[in-house]
Amino acid sequence: MKLVTAIFKPERLDAVKTALAQAGVHGMTLSPARGFGHETGHQEIYRGARYNDDLIVRQRLEVIVADADVDTIVSTIVKQARTDRVGDGFVWVTPLDRVVRIHTGDENEKAL
Amino acid sequence: MESANILWMLVCACLILLMAIGIAFYYTGQTRVKSALNMVMLTITSIVVTLIVWSLWGWSIAQSGSDVIGLFGDPAHGFLLRDVVTGNPAAAGAKGGSYTAITAKGSALPQLTVALVGGLVAVIAVDLITGALAERIKVSTWMVFVVLWITLVFAPLAHMLWNGSGLLSEQGALSHLLGTRIHDLAGSSVVWLVAGVSALAIVLIIGQRRNFHVVPLKPHNMVMTLVGGLIMWVGFLGFVGSRENSASPVTAYAMTSALLAPAASCVGWMIVEKIRTHHFTALGAVSGLVSGMAMISAGADSIGPLWVLIAGLFTGIICSFCASLKYRFGYDDSFDVVPLCGISGLLGILFDGLFAQSGGLLAGGGFALFGADVLACLIVIFWAGVWTAAIAFGLEKTMGWRVAERDEDLGIDIVDQGESAYDFDDYTNSVYQGSQR
């Protein structure tokens, strides 16, 4: 059981989502994220006063997968989320101790 | 009566400016959050640049200058409105300040009021185009475009249609040739059709928004769009009501049909959407209103009430089908200027040829008027299409229309305007960097 978390550009969401569904993923959790990395933020000007905003908007995706599927899922995300520009984001994998599907009470691999 | 007419023309001028504001709301509601401000800026620049160009040479080319082979007036005669404004109050019999409008002998209405309304109609024509270009163009390029477009496209076409000696006017060469009187009261062709044709020409040159048909490009505020459409309708009464140059009984009827046709078109559009999608969509309803306005501009005073309703209904039905064409052909006419203004404007002229009380094909008038209307449309489409494509292509090669791809993803508001339209964050990360000197 692994938790795959990805941070990537919002405009790639549709491609990533479709590819993951085709790879057999049945569900995922999405949330908007803001942060900074190598890509710089932007500047706004109101009546001559300048403001720097260094946080940029990204899409956060979380999906729980069986150990055997991790490599496929990660490479799918990397392939689909890449735009070959700075600021494409990250994917990371975290081990999970226990997963319970609330509706059925099923645990771990059965819960997926 | 004389001052009543002046009063009416000034009221209409206010109403047409209100229509431009309605267009701003109508389009801005349809943008995404990150490009709302750019959309309003396109309207503001349309208004200010058009008014300046109009007062400098636009008015002279369109109306007052001496006619050059039926295509345009000379730009010098009315330069800076010098033929309609005088700084010598004694000559004009005015009290108070020095400047006043000139009222020609034997004429009840000062031509300045006509110039005023004409300039604001030009604003509407330009402003309608902006909806096709949303979310991706630089305001600077747009401002240069407006200068060239008013000079080369709108003012000559307004001259052809509304100046007595123009090629397409009621007494013009084409009408004379075909033995009929081409009729376009408020500009289904010169304002709406031209806006649609020009929008298509520019869109084909500048290309699609990033991720067109990939991510949802949904309206961010439908209420704003609906209220904008309704404000447009209020302004539209002035747009139609001003064309008789008087507060006359004809004006009363023209305004009545300006209410009936959009109403019928709205219903027509909603019926089609209910059948096709099982919903009475709000965007469909307001689109029906706009296409009805485009359609009735030509024949507001020449088509009878029953035919106004029928024409309105058909406009809504036809345009609702045309609105999905952009996905089939892959051009990104962002907010459907081509079907809502272009196709409905075209229908407006054709319906005038079919239904007009005097000369209409279905009213027993034969083919002369209908044929002349079709020919006039083709000339208008050709003129607007060729010139606009030339201007747009020239600007694409010199200034460039679009912002960089990364900037378009970030949102054109922050890149082009340096501001964002809405700030709902309850915390802010912004760091104050000091102010400009």
Domain residue spans in chain B? 2-84+108-429
Which parts of chain A fold into alpha helices (H)? 13-22, 70-81
CA A94 to chain centroid: 13
Structure confidence at residue B437 (pLDDT): 56
Portion of chain A with pLDDT greater than 90, in percent: 59
Does A69 or B213 have the greater pLDDT score?
A69
Total-model pTM: 0.90
Output the pLDDT for position B212: 84
pLDDT at B414 exceeding the cut of 70: yes
ipTM for the predicted complex comes to 0.71
In chain B, which residues touch A (CB < 8 A)?
210-211, 214-215, 406, 409-410, 414-415, 418-420, 429-436
* Cα radius of gyration (chain B): 22
- The residues, ordered by sequence, that sit 6+ positions from B159 with a Cβ below 8 Å of its Cβ are B61, B62, B63, B67, B71, B72, B73, B166
B32 close to B255: Cβ distance less than 8 angstroms: no
Distance in Å, alpha carbon of B430 to nearest chain A alpha carbon: 5
Please, are residues B159 and B315 in contact by the beta-carbon 8 Å criterion?
A: no
pLDDT for residue B124: 97
Superfamily of segment(s) B2-84+108-429: Ammonium transporter AmtB like domains (1.10.3430.10)
Contact status, residue B68 vs residue B74, Cβ threshold 8 Å: yes
C-beta atoms of A51 and B436 within 8 A: no
Scan residues 70-109 of A and list those with Cβ closer than 8 Å to B: 85
Q: Are B103 and B30 in contact (CB under 8 A)?
A: no
Task: Name the nearest CA neighbour of B187 among B239, B148, B232, B146.
Answer: B239
Contacting residues of A for B135, CB less than 8 Å apart:
none
Distance of CA B175 to the CA centre of its chain: 24
Which tokens in the block code for residue B250? 């004809």
Closest to B38 in 3D by CA, of B325, B410, B388: B410
User: What was the pLDDT predicted at A53?
Assistant: 79
Q: Which residue has the tokens 């790639």?
A: A12
What per-residue confidence (pLDDT) applies to A49? 80
Contact A51/B430, CB-based, under 8 Å?
Answer: yes
* Candidates B214, B414, B435; nearest CB to A44: B414
Confidence of residue B35 (pLDDT cuts 50, 70, 90): very high
Structural domain range at position A37? 2-111
Q: So what's the pLDDT on residue B180?
A: 86
pLDDT in tens, B267-310: 999 999 999 999 999 999 999 999 999 999 999 999 999 999 99
Mean pLDDT of B307-315: 96
Q: Which residue has the higher pLDDT, B358 or B432?
A: B358
* Average pLDDT value for residue range B411-433: 80
Chains A and B: how many Cβ contacts under 8 Å?
54
Spatial CB neighbours of B338, under 8 Å, sequence gap ≥ 6:
B132, B196, B199, B200, B322, B325, B326
Q: Say whether pLDDT at B22 is over 90.
A: yes
Residues 6+ apart with CB under 8 A from B82: none
Q: CA dist B276 to B129, B273, B279, B284, B320, Å?
A: 28, 5, 8, 12, 10
**Dihedral, CA of residue B216, residue B222, residue B139 and residue B56, to nearest 10:** 150
Q: Domain containing A87 — which CATH number?
A: 3.30.70.120
pLDDT digits (tens, 9 = 90+) for B84-142: 988 876 655 556 677 888 888 878 899 999 999 999 999 999 999 999 999 999 999 99
pLDDT of B364 reads: 80
Count: domains in chain A: 1
Tens digits of per-residue pLDDT, A36-50? 888 877 888 887 788
Quick one: pLDDT at residue B432? 72
Residue of A9, A11, A40 to mutate, interface with B, max B Cβ within 10 Å: A11
Q: For B152-174, what is the mean pLDDT?
A: 91
